[in-house]
Each structure stands twice: as structure tokens, then as C-alpha cells.
Amino acid sequence: MAALLSNASTPGRFMPGAGTPARGDLRWVAVATMLAYLLASTFELSEWLASRTAPFEVWQLDELPLTVAVLSLGLAWYGWRRWKDCARLLSDNRELARQLIAVQEHERIALARELHDELAQDCTAIRIEAAYLRRTRDAETIFAAAERAADAASHLLDGLRRVLRKLRPAELDELGLGAALLSLVTEHERRSGARCDLVVEGSVDDLVPTVDITVYRVAQEALSNVSRHARAGHVSVTLTRSAEMLSLRIRDDGCGFDPGARTRGVGLLGMAERAAALGARLVTSTAHGEGTALCLTVPLRQTAARSGGST
């Protein structure tokens, strides 16, 4: 992610008219072209080349200049296409970095608000009860204050666990990917009211941690997008494990979205970045009024080799 942010903040040297390096390169190309023209005009290079290749007419060497010219134009077209790809990727990275910064700030504000509104209040309640216990001598009053302090501590612990679960899903570490996805699906069904089914095919309890967290976060973000945008009545989540591949398929019957939109949400960009970092493939298909289907395909052997683990 640091590399992504670094790339996104780098000046646009690959963008049109984006500064001194690109203009300097164009100047060198112009100078080299003019020198080639002047040298060819001065020494009659075309005539010299024609006289030298005349004995080899059987090999059609006199057609070589035109062939080289076409090849040069083809390479220039190829380079232009790759330049457009680089410009698009750079634009996507900048948009992702901008949205990630905004999401990060939003999460910090939400976390700070939750810590202040819940955990800080419980800590204050415990502190008040402790001060009250120091002043009182009545056994019944002491017992009641201790009960209130215990309730505040229990509430504090529940709030802390809730915050920690948002930062890192405990089910993933304690119960494995299948159970973590089941908890995620159950929570989505409870909060959205839409029916959500989970099917797990094959054993998914021995995957490397990077695969576990990537699959979980992609499923979490996809279900979050369904809740916020899709207005779906039914969502199906299927996780399939084979000898070489792991695939996650999520389909909803919601309103869909425009796949040709110029700006994609941070959710889709984030999922694509997670998949790319793992060497996986993420494909989405959608249309207005026809729902959305998402498929994440993870090559297990290559991923295990990259992570130094086993599947």
C-alpha cells in the first residue's frame, strides 16, 4: 500500500505535457530525426543503399526501408497504446489513493467517536464507583457500587471486543475462513433483512493467512456494497476449493450498476488491489436492474509459494 501511495503521489511524468522529462525526451527525438535527415541528404544515403542492395534484388532488400518504416510506425502505435494504459493505471491509482485517504480519515473519526462515546464513558463510570467505594463504609452500599462497577467493566470489555472485531475478525483466527464467512453472512442477513446463503465446497481450513484475510475482506466489502447500493432481496455466497484454485463467487439480485462508469468506488478499487497483491483475478459482471456477480479466483500453488506457506 505504501508503494501504491508513493506511485499515486509521483508527479505525472507519463501524462501528456506533464513536465520537463517528457518534453526533454521529445526534444531528443526531434534532434535525432533532424540529424538523420541532414546526414541522409548530405551523403545521399538512400542512393548509396540502393546501389549496395541492387546485386541482391533476388532477396528484395530494396524493400527493406519501407518494411522498417512500417515496423517503426507499428512500434510507435504500440508504445502509444502502452502509454495510454500507463496513464489510465496512474489515474486509477491516484483515485484509489485519494479515496483511501478519505476512508482512512472517516474510519479514524468513527473509531475516535466510538472510543469516546462508549469506552471513555465506561472508564469514567468505573472511576466514579471506585471513588465512591473509597468514601463509603456501608456494606450494602459497597456491594451495590461494586455491582455497578462490574457492569461498567463488562460493558467496557464488550465495546473493546467490538472495536477489535472491526479491526481484525476474531473468527478468522479462532475458527477459520468458513466460520468467519458464516458469521459475516449471518450478520449481513440480520442487518439488511435480505436472505443470504453461504455454500462452502471443499476444505478451507488450511489456507495461508494472506489468502484467508484477502478472501474475507473481499467478501466483507462486497456484502457491504450490496447493503449500501444494491437493494437486493437475495444474496448467494459460494466458496469453492479445488487442488489448484480457490474461488469466491458472490451474486445478488439487486439493481446493479453501470460497468462503464468513469469513476469506480473505493470498494471495487480496494478489492481489485487486494486481488492483484495476491496474484488473484477479480471479475465483476453487472447491468442496471440485473444484479451483480463477483468472482475472485486465487491460484493456491503460486500464492503458497509466494507466502512461504502450504495449502
Tens of pLDDT, residue by residue over 127-137, are: 888 888 888 88
Q: State the amino acid at position 217 in one-letter form.
A: R
Query: Cα-Cα-Cα-Cα dihedral of 148, 150, 156, 157, to 10°?
Result: -160
Give every CB contact of residue 64 below 8 A, 6+ residues apart in sequence: 53
- Helix (DSSP H) and strand (DSSP E) numbers for the chain: 11, 5
Residue type at 249 in one-letter notation = R
Amino acid in the structure at residue 270: G
Handedness of CA 141, 143, 149, 152 (dihedral sign): negative
Q: Is the Cβ–Cβ distance between 298 and 214 less than 8 Å?
A: yes
Which whole number is the average pLDDT over 231-253?
Answer: 91
Residue 58 pLDDT level (bands cut at 50, 70, 90): low
The answer for residues whose C-beta is within 8 angstroms of residue 148's C-beta and 6 or more apart is 125, 129
248 compared with 130, residue with greater pLDDT: 248
Which range, 20-24, 46-50, 123-127, 285-289, is most confident? 123-127
Q: Distance between CA atoms of 279 and 303, rounded to whole angstroms?
A: 7
Mean pLDDT over residues 144-155, rounded? 85
Higher pLDDT residue, 65 or 16?
A: 65
Contacts of 189 (CB under 8 A, 6+ apart): 195, 196
Q: Per mean pLDDT, which range of 8-12, 22-26, 69-73, 225-229 is the poorest?
A: 8-12
Distances (CA, A) of 176 to 171, 182, 221, 237: 7, 10, 18, 16
Q: How confident is the model at residue 297 (pLDDT cuts 50, 70, 90)?
A: very high
Q: With contact defined as beta carbons under 8 Å apart, do 159 and 166 qualify?
A: no
Residue type, 11: P
The predicted pLDDT at position 57 comes to 67
Q: Tell me, what's the pLDDT at 201?
A: 93
Confidence of residue 5 (pLDDT cuts 50, 70, 90): very low
User: pTM (2 decimals)?
Assistant: 0.56
Mean pLDDT of 205-228: 88
Instruction: Count Cβ atoms below 10 Å from residue 203 Cβ, excluding itself.
Output: 11
Beta strand 281-286 with 195-201: parallel, antiparallel or unpaired? Answer: unpaired
> Is 214's pLDDT higher than 70?
yes
Distance separating alpha carbons of residues 135 and 149, to the nearest angstrom: 15
Name the most confidently modeled range: 70-74, 142-146, 156-160, 248-252. 248-252
- Residue 217 to residue 184: CA distance in whole angstroms: 10
What is the C-alpha separation between 236 and 249, in angstroms, rounded? 8
pLDDT score, position 123: 84
As a whole number of angstroms, the distance between CA 226 and CA 218 comes to 12
Which domains can be identified in the chain, with CATH numbers? 1-167 (no CATH), 170-307 (3.30.565.10)
Range in 48-57, 70-79, 140-149 the model is least confident about: 48-57
On average, the pLDDT of the chain sits at 79
Does the pLDDT of residue 8 top 50, yes or no? no
pLDDT at 268 over 70: yes
Instruction: State residue 17's pLDDT score.
Output: 42
The pLDDT value given to residue 277: 84
Beta bridge partners of 199: 238
Residue 73: its pLDDT value, please? 82
Instruction: Taking each helix axis as running N to C, give the angle between helix 64-114 and helix 139-167, from 0 to 180 degrees, rounded to the nearest 10.
Output: 170
* pLDDT, position 141: 83
**What's the Cα-to-Cα distance from 274 to each of 130, 148, 252, 302, rounded to whole Å?**
47, 45, 22, 16
Burial class (CB in 10 A: 0-12, 13-18, 19+), 305: middle
Beta bridge partners of 294: 250, 284
pLDDT band at 229 (very low <50, low <70, confident <90, very high): confident
What digits encode the pLDDT tens for the residues 97-111? Answer: 777 777 778 777 877
Give CA–CA dist 73/85, Å, rounded.
18
Strand partners, 250: 237, 294
- Other beta carbons within 10 angstroms of residue 256's beta carbon come to 19
Residues listed for the chain: 311
Return the higher-pLDDT residue of 9 and 139. Answer: 139
